Amino acid sequence: MMREFPQSIDVSRALQSNGVSINVPPGESLTIGPFEARYAEAYRIAEVRSFADLQSLGLVPRDLSEEVARDAMLGDDDEFRTLRRTARTAAERGECSCHEQAAGHGSSIRRSRVQSRLSEALASSTRAFRSSAAREDAGVVHVYQHLRRWFDQPANFLVGLVRANTIFIETDGLLVMSPTVNVLDVDTIDIRLGGRLKFQGSSVNVRCGTLNGEPEPPPPVHGPSPGHSADWPPPIWPPLMSVELKAARYLPGYAREKKS
């Protein structure tokens, strides 16, 4: 049954614990979103009213100040315009811009790919980005997209948020976060064998305190041909996965923040 579209609330209220535990039974599929009646209390719409709200939601690192972020964005805007002018001039002259080729841009350059100053600002202020200085690092682009929206000063900056105490996806279960979910804030995520947590939106920030999962069985290993007497080593498969490996395995391509 479809429910009424929820009203927006302030960020502090949206992040308050509600005692909700989301459970996906074995082999079943469940969607969380603004029109889904099941676990409706887990979905909130937060209204961003300040830069601090972005930080509270985990969309922008807490150690990155608004002033530093603005200066970095303006600097990258200038670089983007310069690169576009250079590419346009080179195209009009029928020349090849070596600088553009080296940067991997050319005439198809996009603003989201020009992140040198923002990358430096994030690396300087936030430990998590110190090994992620690449211009097209997914985490940097995620921060850029939220900063771009903030500095463009929209009339209403609304963020879809799912808040839950626990998420338990049983064997072969599928939990889908609708395209309107921008933030998943949960204390514990537990994914059993074959379970999946799927995000239909982009630039999603997943923040959890504990992430548990089971490694999937290794692919079949073909032994030696019949009559071959050589010993065949068993496949090596780590029984335990670190938190980072679990995050990379179950939440690929999304910003992740450890809850304190």
Same domain, 161 and 257: yes
Please indicate, yes or no, if residue 32 is contained in any of the structural domains: yes
Full domain range(s) for residue 208: 1-49+157-217+239-260
Look at 39-43, 57-61, 104-108, 165-169 and tell me which has the smallest mean pLDDT. 104-108
Same domain, 141 and 73: yes
Please indicate, yes or no, if residue 229 is contained in any of the structural domains: no
Please indicate, yes or no, if residue 57 is contained in any of the structural domains: no
Instruction: Summarize pLDDT for 11-42 with one digit per residue, the tens.
Output: 999 999 888 999 999 999 999 999 899 999 99
DSSP 168-237: EE-TT-EEEE-TTEEEEEEEEEEE-TT-EEEE-SSS-EEEEEEEEE-PPPPPP---PPTT--S--PPPP-
pLDDT score for 172: 92
Please indicate, yes or no, if residue 58 is contained in any of the structural domains: no
**Number of folded domains that form the chain:** 2
Please indicate, yes or no, if residue 54 is contained in any of the structural domains: no
Please indicate, yes or no, if residue 131 is contained in any of the structural domains: yes
Distance CA 239, CA 214 (A): 8
Please identify, among 92, 114, 145, the residue that sits at the C-terminal boundary of a domain: 145
Distance CA 260, CA 256 (A): 13
In the predicted model, what is the mean pLDDT of residues 80-106? Answer: 69
